[in-house]
Structure 1
Amino acid sequence: MRYQHWIPLAACAICAPAFSAQYLNAEQAQKLIFPEATAFRPQDVALSLPQMQQVEKLAGLAARSVNWRVVGAYNGDKLLGFMVLDDVIGKFELISYAVGLNPDATVRQIEILTYRESHGGEVRLPAWRRQFTGKSAQTGGLTVGDGIANISGATLSCTHLTDGVRRIAAVAQVALKK
């Protein structure tokens, strides 16, 4: 007698592919954030312990990392600003994003590079991302509910991205501001 084994449909749910969408790579993001740039130069940014403490005080969050992925944008010899690459957890998965900063450490623009969650992708909408423009760690307004609107169904993505941008704005204030 032959036996047939059936796998319950619910067991196949663990085999389902994860959702992920890559919208931009780092090079595309830097050209989008700084279209007038003629050169991009990677910069080593390693925070000292006192700088990490300053970042924590400004952001109200742990500095999280000593080393930051930073690219300087230039038009000839003129510094246009910086792009900082980072990842934050959405609800379960990482969200990769880039923050464009002006030389005075204000936010120029943010771009979502890769969004891996099945819900909450509305954080990629231009209207939501524009809320960050012109804000800095010192001026405030970089928290959900105080300068940044929440998106229903994307609360964790909104909160974690906003926290990440606030942390980067503090890093810019402490280590990048010219």
Structure 2
Amino acid sequence: MSWVRYTVPAAAILSAASPAYAVRYLSIEEAQKEAFPSATHFSEVQTGRVWKAEAAGKVVGFFVFDRVVGKHLFIDYAVALTPAGAVHKVEILEYRESYGGEIRSSSWLAQFAGKTSSSALKINGDIRNIAGATLSSTHVTEGVKRILAAYGNRLR
């Protein structure tokens, strides 16, 4: 019965941990259409990660899927870029943390619109922090900055 002495406390600790809540808001395809409603075709530039949005044979932008860690779990998000490489829109596709989902608010996400690879993109600088979601806010902001650095100038 000595195993009970070790198993019961471990079970109590595991059951006391806060549960994770995965909420899927948009699929990649839904987010693409929301970001570029005029687009008639999306072609993959980088498999499962980057798509070119086109309408009437013209490039209307690029759609980049990415994933960052919030506090403990992944946040799936997407960045829609203009043909010139500026942020057109940012969307949270799936949020798995039990709190901090406020990063999905349209007013917080709207802060990214127009940002380019030369923008500061810094929490408590040009991007507001969200109390209670500091790590999620920071990591999504850093992810958008990374995407701009990687794709902002190359995709044109």
Q: Are 1:86 and 2:66 counterparts?
A: yes
The number of residue pairs the alignment matches comes to 149
Distance 1:166 1:118 in 2: 25
**TM superposition score normalised by structure 1:** 0.77
What's the counterpart of residue 103 of structure 1? 83
**TM-score, structure 2 length as denominator?**
0.87
Is 1:153 aligned with 2:132? yes
Identity of aligned residues (%): 44
The answer for the alignment partner of 2:3 in structure 1 is none
Task: Please state how far the C-alpha of 1:69 moved relative to its aligned partner.
Answer: 1.1
For residue 175 of structure 1, report the CA deviation from its aligned partner.
1.9
- Cα 1:7–1:70 shift into 2, 3 Å: same
- Which one of 20, 23, 42 corresponds to residue 21 of structure 1? 23
Secondary structure of the corresponding residue to residue 153 of structure 1? coil
Residue deviations 1:75-97, cap 9 Å, x none? 02110000000000000000000
Q: CA RMSD in A?
A: 2.2
Instruction: List per-residue Cα deviations over 1:85-113 (Å, max 9, x = no partner).
Output: 00000000000000000011100000000
CA deviations over 1:100-135 (Å, ceiling 9, x no partner): 000111000000000000111000000000000001
Q: Which runs of 5+ in 1 are unaligned?
A: 1-5, 46-67
Query: Secondary structure of 1:134's partner?
Result: coil
CA distance in 2, matches of 1:24, 1:92: 21
Structure 2 portions without partners, runs of 5+: 1-7
Match of 2:42 among 23, 40, 43: 40
How far apart, in 1, do the equivalents of 2:69 and 2:21 lie?
14
Residue type at the aligned position of 1:29 = A
Separation in structure 1 between the aligned mates of residue 75 and residue 67 of structure 2, nearest angstrom: 5
2:121 corresponds to which residue? 142
Which of structure 1's runs of 4+ aligned residues deviate more than 4 A? 6-9, 14-17
> Structure 2: which amino acid aligns with 1:119?
Y
